[in-house]
Structure 1
């Protein structure tokens, strides 16, 4: 029999969170507002915040984030386990079709600390409620007889994998959708979106979290899930398509709003488009309000009016862009360096002139996500999207540009496309996560659907200068085309308290096969390949302060 229960006590509303409702973020005329004033923001992600070992570490981290000029921080409001861990933080036990929510000192009280001190430092928090990714690669791909020989909740620690990293070190090691699917006895990732028992379990968890903080003025928004798609470590069924994911969003968004009418709700999806997919909602674009385009010398605060996003216009503008870059390349005699970029690494190969009629995988619905259809849901308050070129393709490469310049240009096109989609639906838009893997971070890089670093040296990735140039271009593009929020991934923190068997362990190198150069000293925050520490952080912060 499947059942739900709460461990320790029923969640309560905390008096320290019940400040005046005027601080709640709202949306009006396609903008974020606080207390009647427009609120444009820069933010950072620290998914590991509630898993820190001491309250003082949480205080110090949030203080540093605030001092750096950020006003929004994104973190995980989920931490699912399949057996009760000996050490460290956990929020929910999911085991054999039942769930237990931990409201103790190593449970939701850690999240209480994050919200309390965020409010103290004037920070807003985006709280993500689950994750698409939870890889246990070798275990999930064994023969069924081999799986039955082990308990399904055992972590795979096959030699050579990186799963021997401390729990909660990687952003994909906090449980999520596939934990529900496994523990409720199902096989396909999209069973999470369609199976009543699983949906009820997730709604139960959502109710406990959302009701606990519904009066907190530190909450910016509820993010339904990080990067929801049709597939994950567990594959998709043949029935999963974009409307499967959209229907689930509509159901969960309505549920959240029924529990908490005070806060915004966003999807958290990666932002994939599908022009030719059937829609659930009326997401047909409406014409934007007329507004003159700024001259090159205009203030960066000027906003450009954009034509509605359509497949025809995307292809037309892409061809026009290619013509301009071809002329420029011929005139400068600066033809592109041959090569392609694969997960942060340049691989030599002959340059291919790509066919201009295809929109590319980010626009064809192949991930099972139609962000325009999701955005059209009434209860979805704003558009959120992500940009990680080391792990996704965002366009069709221009044969006249180098691999690096193509990566930057495709990012510009991606940002502009989302600004158009949000503008046509009169909703704010925020880039809620973007990053590039640098050469220094390459040994730490673990893709979202993996537990193993693909690189063992610093020959992969971009240089710090290339990262900074790309970040500057993307942030200025966001400002120019009306993004109301831009969030870098991810924050790096030093001087943290270590404790054996927890996320911040005394000797990270003693627990992993990885040559993780950024973790040679104890007391540093987790790094899955995007963390920025010390001197590098000041350079990136200058870029974002210019955008602010």
Structure 2
């Protein structure tokens, strides 16, 4: 009897031990280990592309042509939106314009559009990426109003008069967000073409709506949301990586970092925790596999970036890159320079080479300029208004001042050369 009990006890202990070990990822899935990405057991470093507009194209030929262009530039990972939501009142116009949309809001819940003008377009992007050796980061929603961000959830579920950060705490909103996350994850979780899931693009305490007192430095509201949602996503998908999609704001409590402007000292939003992020802490969450950050000093410091000022876009960006590399090394996790941009062709040519060189020196696994530009698109004769001011003009993909096209040879070559360096560092 005792021997039988001993055998049963050993079996139970073995089962308990086995359940605590994460299963091996399927072939073709990217993982992270000791601060770097691995693909099938070999290092994986890359130049990536941002193209929110790719699933918004109406013809498969233009999608294929864009992937082919990315492949020729050495791009290995594409970041795009896994969301586009509209109000029910917008459906008629969307059908007429050919706008891709996945969610329709008419009440306190949304209806999925998985038809040929909906998720079938995203299906094509996901399925086609692998043909060109490219993997995808899919973001689940947007901090901003563009293309149906999180404030649609707030407006329809919580109602008018609420602050932006109610999205992170309202149980009905969290449940609705998770229902959409489940839809996307379950649709693609078996695909090796997915690089990672991204909880939100640029989550902050505030958006187009103001923040409230529940989301101020020290409350850790956004960190708690990242933890909750990354745990939820992991429960759906044990294999694909998960990240925040954040801009990389710090909460350096013991450092009063700021700048003087017009005789007044201003505490710096990027470091004082006011945005809601705490990059150092967020990166330590067990189901956040790697860090992301963005870089737009012209936009963030317009009062300083003026003629005659001693403010340097280039130097500030270098400081920001080094700060995130240091935090990632401490956490022993990879980091992506996931979005960055300056306006002006000369600025791009002079500054990007410095930034990407520093990113390489500090062992960034991935470098993603904002944004990829494509020429020669054919749909609607090469001219089509997509939404807002986003348009295809003379065959060129949307340009917000940051787009990089192949005919901008000096800038384009910066990234094709970096892609070769990253490839040499990979298996």
Q: What is the TM-score with the length of structure 1 in the denominator?
A: 0.65
User: How far apart are residue 351 of structure 1 and its match?
Assistant: 9.0
**In structure 1, what is the Cα distance between the partners aligned to 2:411 and 2:264?**
34
* Structure with the largest fraction of strand: 2
Verify the 8 A CA contact 2:304 2:311 in the aligned structure 1. Answer: no
State the match for 1:506 in structure 2.
383
String of CA shifts for 1:216-236, please: whole Å, max 9, x gaps. Answer: 111111111100000111111
State the match for 2:342 in structure 1.
436
- 1:490 paired with 2:361, answer no
- 1:60 paired with 2:71, answer no
**In structure 2, what is the Cα distance between the partners aligned to 1:354 and 1:232?**
26
| Correspondent of 2:223 among 231, 240, 246 | 246
State the match for 1:178 in structure 2.
151
Unaligned runs of 5+ in 2: 1-24, 422-427
State the match for 1:220 in structure 2.
195
State the match for 1:74 in structure 2.
79
State the match for 1:539 in structure 2.
410
User: How far apart are residue 542 of structure 1 and its match?
Assistant: 1.6
| Correspondent of 1:99 among 110, 119, 128 | 110
String of CA shifts for 1:185-204, please: whole Å, max 9, x gaps. Answer: 43211111010011100000
| Mapping of residues 75-474 of structure 1, within 5 Å | 75-83=80-88, 84=91, 85-86=94-95, 87-134=98-145, 172=146, 174-186=147-159, 187-242=162-217, 243-276=220-253, 311=255, 360-393=268-301, 403=309, 406-438=312-344, 464-474=345-355
**In structure 2, what is the Cα distance between the partners aligned to 1:431 and 1:252?**
22
Q: State the secondary structure of the residue aligned to 1:247.
A: helix
User: How far apart are residue 95 of structure 1 and its match?
Assistant: 2.4
User: How far apart are residue 91 of structure 1 and its match?
Assistant: 0.6
Verify the 8 A CA contact 2:371 2:404 in the aligned structure 1. Answer: yes
User: How far apart are residue 496 of structure 1 and its match?
Assistant: 2.1
**In structure 2, what is the Cα distance between the partners aligned to 1:397 and 1:53?**
41
**In structure 1, what is the Cα distance between the partners aligned to 2:294 and 2:359?**
12
String of CA shifts for 1:154-186, please: whole Å, max 9, x gaps. Answer: xxxxxxxxxxxxxxxxxx2x1010111111143
**In structure 2, what is the Cα distance between the partners aligned to 1:78 and 1:383?**
21
User: How far apart are residue 405 of structure 1 and its match?
Assistant: 6.2
Verify the 8 A CA contact 2:298 2:313 in the aligned structure 1. Answer: no
**In structure 2, what is the Cα distance between the partners aligned to 1:476 and 1:390?**
20
**In structure 2, what is the Cα distance between the partners aligned to 1:478 and 1:405?**
21
Verify the 8 A CA contact 2:46 2:77 in the aligned structure 1. Answer: yes
State the match for 1:289 in structure 2.
none
**In structure 1, what is the Cα distance between the partners aligned to 2:316 and 2:357?**
15
String of CA shifts for 1:513-534, please: whole Å, max 9, x gaps. Answer: x7x9x96x44321222211224
| Structure 2 CA distance for partners of 1:508 and 1:100, relative to 1, 3 Å | closer
Verify the 8 A CA contact 1:311 1:359 in the aligned structure 2. Answer: no
* Structure with the largest fraction of helix: 2
**In structure 2, what is the Cα distance between the partners aligned to 1:402 and 1:221?**
43
| Structure 2 CA distance for partners of 1:354 and 1:422, relative to 1, 3 Å | farther
**In structure 1, what is the Cα distance between the partners aligned to 2:264 and 2:171?**
44
Question: How many residues of Structure 1 are paired with residues of Structure 2 in the alignment?
Answer: 385
**In structure 1, what is the Cα distance between the partners aligned to 2:299 and 2:262?**
21
Verify the 8 A CA contact 1:53 1:497 in the aligned structure 2. Answer: no
String of CA shifts for 1:452-507, please: whole Å, max 9, x gaps. Answer: xxxxxxxxxxxx222211100100111111211110110111222334xxxx9836
Moved over 3 A (4+): 350-355, 401-405, 504-509
Unaligned runs of 5+ in 1: 1-19, 135-171, 277-309, 319-339, 341-349, 439-463
Verify the 8 A CA contact 2:376 2:382 in the aligned structure 1. Answer: no
Q: What is the TM-score with the length of structure 2 in the denominator?
A: 0.83
User: How far apart are residue 42 of structure 1 and its match?
Assistant: 0.6
String of CA shifts for 1:347-375, please: whole Å, max 9, x gaps. Answer: xxx997997xx873211112122122211
State the match for 1:525 in structure 2.
397
Verify the 8 A CA contact 2:136 2:194 in the aligned structure 1. Answer: yes
| Correspondent of 1:38 among 25, 37, 43 | 43
Q: State the secondary structure of the residue aligned to 1:78.
A: coil
String of CA shifts for 1:31-67, please: whole Å, max 9, x gaps. Answer: 0111111111111101011110111111111110111
Aligned-CA RMSD value: 2.9
